[in-house]
Structure 1
Amino acid sequence: MREKVLMIVSNGFDPDPRVYKEASTLVENGYEVEILCWDRENNYLDKETEILRGIKIKRLYPYAQYSTGLKQIKAYIKFFLQAKKYIKNKSYDVIHTHDFECAIIGALLKKERKLIWDMHEFYDGFNYSRLRSLLYKIMAKFCFKRADGIIYVVPEQKNRYEKEVLFNTKTKVVMNCPEEEVFQGLENISSNKLRISFIGNVRDYNSLKLLMEVGEKFSNVLININGYGSAYEGLKEIEKQYKNTVITGRFNYMEIKKYYENTDVIFAVYNSDLPNTMYAFPVKGAEAIICGKPIIANTRSFFGDFVKEQDIGFVISDKSENELYSVIKSIVDNEEILEKKKENIKKIGVRFLWSNEVLKLIELYDEVLRDNYEYKE
């Protein structure tokens, strides 16, 4: 009999790339997977249930706007209560929660099931108030205590939280690398302009606005912002002021290849005040690498250091207009500078494929479900 997995996500799953990759991997390895989604902005009212690549999807609709902080608490509680009601008479072997707010729900609903906390980000990696930080610390301690398995996305998470994890909790670092087949057959589209693209979750307004402003200083530069997120509406409102910027909005992950085909350089710069920025290895960084695209990243960050050491792009401060201008001007003046970066990317591309991470995910499930504990000292 196939073991049943319930994944819980706090978005509408359109689809969420990491969740989709993990769910697909589990289905391919004999698990029965259902994803319970909080479609908080009600974008998929016509798709309450569906099946995608063998994955069952169920959406719940307590309305809330993204990035409104504690204003979402009422809708969050409704989502918890609806989730509790939905799974009441259903049998699952594992509850696999994605990110912190869903880990709390999973910890509360665990009962006799196994619980896996998929830690997409540092739960304490934002500039919260002291009260909110304290509450999160208390709730995180509860989640650590209840979790049978924890999935980290970067090694720094494991180092940071190692002392908080119980001795018999299984852990793995499963990086958010792209699926090779999504980018197969990629054909670069030629252009007489230098195209600098952001592709992904549009949530850092200031960094992207800076990119738009600097892009205006060049006649032969095009800025592409592809994706949706909390900063999308604000950027879309000012788009008309920038003749060199195109903002496309939400897209299906399976269509992502076309955006990489239409770019020369990937912009992966975020708010440097947040630990989540400084220690992360963004998925768009891995996507850029397997697509052979040079990268602009944050200086003095884990990913920025990697970009600099491997010589696969450029590093700047997220607050420095002059540094971004200098990088773009250096490329405009000598586009051959990108060729060396591309050659270096070719040398490391094979390291950043989802196929390298699959075994770690399956091993974690096997260890969690079989209680094959290797006790920590």
Structure 2
Amino acid sequence: MKVIYVRSNPVDPDSRVEKEVNSLIKLGYEVEILAWDRENSYKVTESYLDLKSGKVKIYRFGLPGSFGGGIKRNLIPLFKFQIRLYSWLVKNKSKYDVIHACDFDTAFLSSKVAKLFKKKFVYDIFDYYVDAFSVPKFAKKIIEKIDHNVINSADAVIICSEKRKEQIKGTNPKKLLVIHNTPEDVKEDLKDLNLNKTKIKIVYVGILSSGRFIKEIAEVIKNNKEYEFHIGGFGVFEDYFRELSQKNININFYGKLPYKKTLELEKSCDLMVAIYDPHIPNHYYAAPNKFYESLMLGKPLIMVKNTGMDYVVAKHNIGEVIEYNVRSLKDGIDNLVKRRSDWPGMSIKMKDLYNQNYSWTMMELRLKELYGELED
């Protein structure tokens, strides 16, 4: 069975896409990827992603846009991307049996093409669109209604946590599957970086945009020379953190990192953060990569109350759950540092949680079952 995987970013990197595609290749499926490169302008390029299970061809459409810039700034680029996407899917309809579309900005059009050419359609919801993005109020109900129709028409729908079932309440998917944003267990393959052992090292790698409290983290840490902030990723705040790292010895900016390098950096630091604005509805249902990565690596985690998996952190005492303000952030970091002697015990507990409830081996079996049903 041939699968075309569709994503509205360049997959450079995209940990969830890469894990799922790698697993599908491992399971014997032929997979190619369609992606949107927002940093360049060109018709289409063909290249390959080197994954653990083999090389995967990726087609990137070069259409300038922004990450974290909101729907208003990206409306015209998104429309152009839809045209390119439709054209490719129609011209290359013999190249795939399944369209695996990520999020509403690829799923709506993909569902129409799948129906037109009698292809199987999988809707993988990384983020529920009307809750995750700045959708104009007048359009929200319309988009949500369309999104529900896409969910109901899909051969299968994937969500990233049990909690997300509440978010799509009112839909009736034919097949609903939970695949957590957990990493593959690659701890033994990760290098230890030569970082300063005398400092408390706090790490964040991801999208550099508002709503993640990363500027505030940097402000807290830059004024405390006992701490270091190690930050990587891409987005609208790239220049800000590049300049900040040049002015502050305890702020280290890495730019965009391959996923393995991200995990190596996290493994080499002491504390992780997954801080999201609780006023954004989607963040209540968030299943951040950082949560799962912290479990696998055994690194204490700071999260905000009522965002995603915070209840797991609180229940198992494996970090700090804070309010969404600078004072609470500072207190959370200081509290964890005071509990430094507890970190080894936390680490064991976190790795056990990963292995028992969230391991990628378990997620891969769910994918195997789903795609086996699509073939029947």
For normalisation by structure 2, the TM-score amounts to 0.89
Other-structure match for 1:150: 157
Contact kept, 8 Å, 2:90 with 2:113, in 1: the verdict is: no
Change (3 A) 1:188 1:243: closer
What root-mean-square deviation, in Å, do the aligned CA atoms of Structure 1 and Structure 2 show?
A: 2.4
| Amino acid paired to 1:175 | H
Whether the 8 Å contact between 2:297 and 2:347 is mirrored in structure 1 is no
Amino acid at match of 1:24: N
After the TM superposition, which residues 315-326 of structure 1 pair with which residues of structure 2 at under 5 Å, given as runs?
A: 315-319=321-325, 321-326=326-331
Alignment counterpart, residue 161 of structure 1, candidates 168, 180, 184: 168
1:307 counterpart = 2:308:
no
Q: For the structure 1 residues 44 and 286, does the alpha-carbon distance in structure 2 shift closer, same or farther, using more than 3 Å as the test?
A: farther
1:99 pairs with one of 103, 113, 137: 103
SS at match of 1:66: coil
* Corresponding residue for residue 128 of structure 1: 135
Task: Compare 136-145 and 11-20 and name the one that shifted more.
Answer: 136-145
1:56: which partner in 2?
Answer: 57
Deviation at 1:205, TM superposition (A): 5.7
Q: CA deviation at 1:72?
A: 2.0
Cα deviation digits, residues 241-263 of structure 1 (max 9, x gap) = 54432221101113223212321
Code of the aligned partner of 1:63: P
The equivalent position to 2:18 in structure 1, one of 17, 20, 24, is: 20
SS of structure 1 residue aligned to 2:302: strand
Match of residue 349, structure 1, among 349, 354, 365: 354
Give CA-to-partner distance per residue, 1:309-354, whole Å, 9 cap, x none.
Answer: 01111111122x2222222223445532433422432432313321
Q: Percent identity?
A: 26
CA deviation map 1:109-158 (0-9, x unaligned):
22211111100012232353311312321321331243111001011222
Structure 1 residues 94 and 185 mapped into 2: Cα distance closer, same or farther (>3 Å)?
Answer: same
For 1:180-219, list aligned pairs within 5 A: 180-181=185-186, 184-187=189-192, 191-204=197-210, 207-219=213-225
Equivalent-residue separation in structure 1 for 2:287 and 2:139 (angstroms): 26
2:219 counterpart SS class: helix
> Per-residue displacement from partner, 1:204-249 (whole Å, max 9, x unpaired)?
3661111111113322110111212333334445445544322211
Is the counterpart of residue 258 in structure 1 residue 259 in structure 2?
Answer: no
Q: Which residue of 2 aligns with 1:108?
A: 112
TM-aligned CA deviation for residue 188 of structure 1: 7.1
Question: Who is 1:38 aligned against?
Answer: 36
- The amino acid that maps onto 2:354 is G
d(CA) in 1 for partners of 2:36 and 2:286? 25
2: CA distance, partners of 1:45 / 1:235: 31
TM-score computed with the length of structure 1 as normaliser: 0.89
Residue 271 in 1 paired to residue 272 in 2? no
**CA shift for structure 1 position 31:** 0.9
- Give the letter for the 1:95 counterpart: I
Looking at structure 2, the residues matched to 95 and 20 of structure 1 have their Cα atoms a distance apart, in angstroms, of 16
Contact 1:202 1:230 in 2 (8 A): yes
